[in-house]
Structures are given as structure tokens and as C-alpha cells.
Amino acid sequence: MKKVLGIGNALVDTLVKLEDEHFLEEMKLPKGSMQLVSQDEIVAIERKCEGFKKSMSGGGSAANTIHGLAGLNVETAFIGKVGKDELGDLFADDLRAKNIRPFLMQGESHSGHALAFVTPDSERTFATYLGAALELSPEDLQDHFFEGYDYLHVEGYLLQNHSLLQAILEKARNNNLKVSLDLASFNVVEENLHVLKDWVRDYVDILFANEEEARAFTGKEPEQALADMARLCGIAVVKVGKGGSLVRAKEDEIRIPAIQATVLDTTGAGDAYAAGFLYGLANDLPLGVCGRIASLMAGKVIEGMGAKISPDGWEEIQREIL
């Protein structure tokens, strides 16, 4: 089986369940978006939601995908930066507990922290303090981090640091890794569109997007967006929620149905989907099978709270594919 390396913002997630959307409006957080906030702002938001139902775990988009792959017995590693604090220790311990090799540097700021607010319709909205994660720099990227891996999975949130992403992509190419990019958030795509298409065309092999991200990237609806995306990279995927997902490689297009699931929280659904899809590619499986495994993974994560699949969910996944 091929090996997968992930790189992204090393964050600890606090999942907060909301009874309605009024809190988001009060905090000026556009529903469904990821908003970057300062340390003072995230502390203030945390104080405002004291008493709300919440849970905490290691997170970050690419790290979530790597955790999913590790659960499928893929050999994995993760590159990121944390602070010298309890949250940083929690993040590192979370990796090691799943046999994920940690390439973690320590920064001067506090560890990154994401507040994920889940509304009654199961949609999530993020207020994210990047902290030490934002200190990850091209100088931190040592060649041996990339050696021996076959795929590199990159989260789209790194698009905001152009010099870092350029260095990551060049390191991947120099070490013959196939690059998987998840676009991550429609507002991040919109803000970086002027450079994003060139990066996808020149470096990316697998591109993941949901409907909103695909629309932001191409200006088109899913089917037409998929075709445009596939012209720029080897494999393009557009996730369409209850409608499943669309996968295209060159002229071959496949529609993957979503599995039947009781939706509790959509946090991490896209990350779990990417994990399942990359697991299929790592095992040289046909694209349709990759998509079905991805759909299964996404379906199981949304049946619980947070970005991690429950033990019961893992038991069903293992019966299906391992």
C-alpha cells in the first residue's frame, strides 16, 4: 500500500452545538464559512459561548484526513506547527495514538484553535485562530519529511500563505509525490483565485471541492465545474451533499451516490471523504470504488458529533472494506 503525507494547520477543534443561528449573527460569522480571528477575538467568542454544549479534539482539515487514513491502516505522517502549550501536546498525542508520524515544529505563538459551531441543520461554521500554525514557513520544510511517501494531501486553508504553498508544491514535485488538494472553503477560494488555478494546473493531481467551492473556483454549477476542474488536473471531485459526488478523470465521469445516514453534524465530512478516496488510490482501486469508500467514510462521520468517526462507525467500515 502506498504511503500518504499530510500538511496543514495543526489545530485543536472545539465543537460547539447551537440551538439556532442567532449566535453566528451576533458574532458576525457567516454561516458555513471559515473566518480567521485573532487570539483576543477567539478568547472573546469562547467567553460568549460558555455554558454551551461542546467537545474538544485534535483537528485541522488535512490532519482529519490523515487520521481517517490511519484508521484504514495506511502508513501516514503529518507536517505542522504547534505552540509550546497544552493544546500543542494534545495535538501531538492525538497523532501518536493513531501511529501517525508527527513532523511537528514548535512556534512562538499559542497553538492554533478552531471553534466549530454546528447549527440545527447540521451545517458548521468556523472561527479559527491559527496561532503557531501560521508560523509554518518554507524554511521548516525539510527534504526528509517528504522522502518515502507517495501522496501529499494539502488543505486549501494553506492557500492564504502563498510562499509556503509554493514551497510545499515544489518539494512534492521534487520528491515525486502526487498532490491532493482539498479546496476547503469557498471564501478562501474566492480570495486566492488569481493564483489558485495556476497552482492546480502546474502541481495538483487530485482536486476535491464541494458545490460552493467548485462554484467559487469556476463560476459554474457542479457538472460544468467538474469538467473545468478535470481539465486542469488528473482527477477532479465535486461533492454535492445528499446528491453524492461526481468524479472525473479525463473523459471518464462517475456519479457516486451518498450512503443512507442520519445526519447529526457535517463537521469533517469532506475530510473523511478525502481519506476514503485516497485510501482507494493508495491501493490502486478503480475510481468508482475509491468514490464508494469515500462516500462510506463521509456518511459515517456525519452520524456523530465532530470530525472523528465513532467506534461503531469504524466497525462498519472495517466490515465493508478492510
User: Does a structural domain hold residue 290?
Assistant: yes
User: Does a structural domain hold residue 40?
Assistant: no
Nearest residue to 263 via CA among 119, 152, 159:
119
Number of independent structural domains in the chain: 1
Q: What is the model's pTM?
A: 0.90
Q: Identify the pLDDT of residue 219.
A: 96
Question: What pLDDT, in 10s, does the model give residues 184-231?
Answer: 889 899 999 989 999 999 999 999 999 999 999 999 999 999 999 999
User: Does a structural domain hold residue 223?
Assistant: yes
User: Does a structural domain hold residue 198?
Assistant: yes
Percent of the chain with pLDDT over 90: 77
Q: Identify the pLDDT of residue 311.
A: 86
User: Does a structural domain hold residue 141?
Assistant: yes
Paired residues of 36 in beta bridges = 128
The overall average pLDDT reported for the chain is: 93
User: Does a structural domain hold residue 314?
Assistant: yes
User: Does a structural domain hold residue 124?
Assistant: no
Question: What pLDDT, in 10s, does the model give residues 260-314?
Answer: 888 877 778 999 999 999 999 999 999 999 999 999 999 999 888 777 888 888 8
Which 3 state secondary structure label does DSSP give 1? coil
User: Does a structural domain hold residue 139?
Assistant: yes
The CATH number given to whatever domain includes residue 180 is: 3.40.1190.20
Question: What pLDDT, in 10s, does the model give residues 74-96?
Answer: 999 999 999 999 999 999 999 99
Q: Which domain holds residue 210?
A: 4-9+59-110+131-321
User: How many angstroms separate the CA atoms of 213 and 226, rounded?
Assistant: 11
Are residues 236 and 247 in contact, defined by beta-carbon separation less than 8 angstroms?
yes
Residue 245, CB-side half-sphere exposure with 13 Å CA sphere: 32
